[in-house]
Structure 1
Amino acid sequence: MEGFDVSAAEKLSAHYETLENTDSIVPPATLLERLRILRGIVSTEGNALLLAASQLDSEAVQAAEMTANCEGCVVVTGVGKAGIVGKKLVATLASTGTPAHFLHPAEAVHGDLGRVRENDLVWAISNSGRSEEVVRIAPHLRENSAGLIAITATAENPLADAANCIVAIGKHSEACPNGLAPTSSTAVMMAVGDAIAMLASQLRSFSPQDFARFHPGGALGQKLATVDQMMRNLDACRIAPPHITVREAMVRTSKNGRRTGAVMLVDQQGILVGIFTDSDLARLLETRNDTALDEPISERMTCQPTTVHSATLLQEAIAVMSRRHISELPVVDANSRPLGLIDITDVAAMLGDRDEPSILPFAS
């Protein structure tokens, strides 16, 4: 029970017990009393979560294993607040490697039962296990799917009777002042559903890179993006052989539009052997070393430049650029052949305006 103010929950209970026999509820008058009620409600839900966690058993593990092994989609169904929880769990499943969609029980009996296939797995959510709309379709769902998982308070109700797997989440006192609105029960439903989905994703060996594929937008997408999504591809890069002069390299690699800040030098096998940056050129011009412009660029390039491999996380590449104080970072394959270039100007453009949502291109 660590981290939860149990005394606050007890005081909350006492507060409402004193009001049971009154005709009207007296609103809490002071800031302290209102804060005590807020803390008590959160503590009540928190304690329910801790109790539910301690009561989870092998059935919950079986539910995660069935989910991980599902060859079709996970179909989640529920009505009322349980249905709303179910829609959120669909989103959790879908974003962590398990295709999922929601089936409304009322629509199911009007044709949507046809959305459930024999290789799909069904999650049916009902705290009481007696929701008429859900119980009515439960036999059909079990018969026409790969399995029916019931997420419900106990193992003794009509929904549990129809299920292949029963995840009993326990009975919990609602945090609602009147003990009526689903609060603690829905918090537990959500947490247990999340736990099953997270275990299933681990059983599928779902990686951060997999997660990134489903989250290309916003700060999360930026955090999990790879260099392949940000780099300039070879057709937008400046590439030259190392034996030509600096001047010739500048002319040969001239491109219209926004160019990269470096020329990548490759040998006859296409292997990266060096890099010559705009900063290198600027230093030659600042020292008025005009003769150097007609020397082989191999004498002025940086040999064995810092590189990263394809599929490296973008945040790791940015960290490398920061540590090495470089503005251009070649991306290479396993044979040190360039695939593209990370340019600091592109990174700055991506990170410069946090108010605008960024959507990175999908990796091919």
Structure 2
Amino acid sequence: MSRPLESLILFKRHSANCAVNKSRIPKKKREFFMECDCQVWIRGRTPAGDIVPRQSTGFSDLKRAEAMRDAYVRQGRAESGSGMPVTECIERYLRLREQDLDERTLAQHRLALERLRSYLENRGVFYAEGIKADHLESFKTDGLPREMASTTRATTDAKIRCFLRMAYRREWIKEVLVEKVRPVRAVYEQKEPYTDDEVGTILEQAGKINGGTHGYASKPATFRLLLELMLETGMRVGDAVCYDPRIASKGDSLWTYTFTPHKRKRTEKARSIEVYLTEDLQKRIEACDWLSPRLPFWYGSGSDPGFRRGCRSGMGPGQIRIR
């Protein structure tokens, strides 16, 4: 099948004795069936907007027909293109953001922008100056998967808007497109917090889990204490599993634990947070069956010598990768 390019379409006008006419392929899709000896035809518009009338390419080989179509595209770029190509703008933007974003977030930016680039090229837009507000508005409905959740759409839109701001600031585009395009609003499901009875049930059942040979399933009482710690202090699970009772300090009536949250913006200055534990919870954590020699709630790499060496060097569990 031909590579999709909405500005110039390759198709076939099959002869009466072509095998595709006896196949189960729907009639509407048969013109895009290329596995036969019938000639390839072309129709559509060049990137410059010139109409290419329906005509035979003179070839039955798809690669040769695509080469002919690519020649139309290159000619259209030369006639209508000016400024910086969209592909180059995207690559420059991603290089500039490498210092601000972690690898996973950078990959998400790349995916969003590659989807936009593909959508623009399908409509004959290869240069940044050719991007219009209408393209960006249409992309939100036609360029993204229909089954994509509204929250993911909003996240994708936010990444593209960041790109448009930089594109205008660096004069890759001449219009402030980010102000012309309406942002996507995510629809979040309204969730109710657990009631006191539900919390009690969760803690009760957590202390009864059984059947595992390692980790939390092997020590249900320790797992319940982890949930109690999160409930009492409001700590995220990533911070709670790294809880070290030996560095908590005792006050007049409560224990104080100071830590640096693992989840924060990469460019944000690290800041410490204090949480408070009751005497009863602190003593039960100290006396429970620990999952690793160093931390009560951390297992796996927590018992590895490399983990302990990393901790002595100031690294947190989230920064260590055991290979």
Q: Tell me the TM-score range normalised by the shorter chain.
A: under 0.3
Q: Which has the higher contact order (CA 8 A, sep 6+)?
A: 1
Flag the structure with higher strand content.
Answer: 1
After TM superposition, the score normalised by the length of structure 2 is 0.25
After TM superposition, the score normalised by the length of structure 1 is 0.23
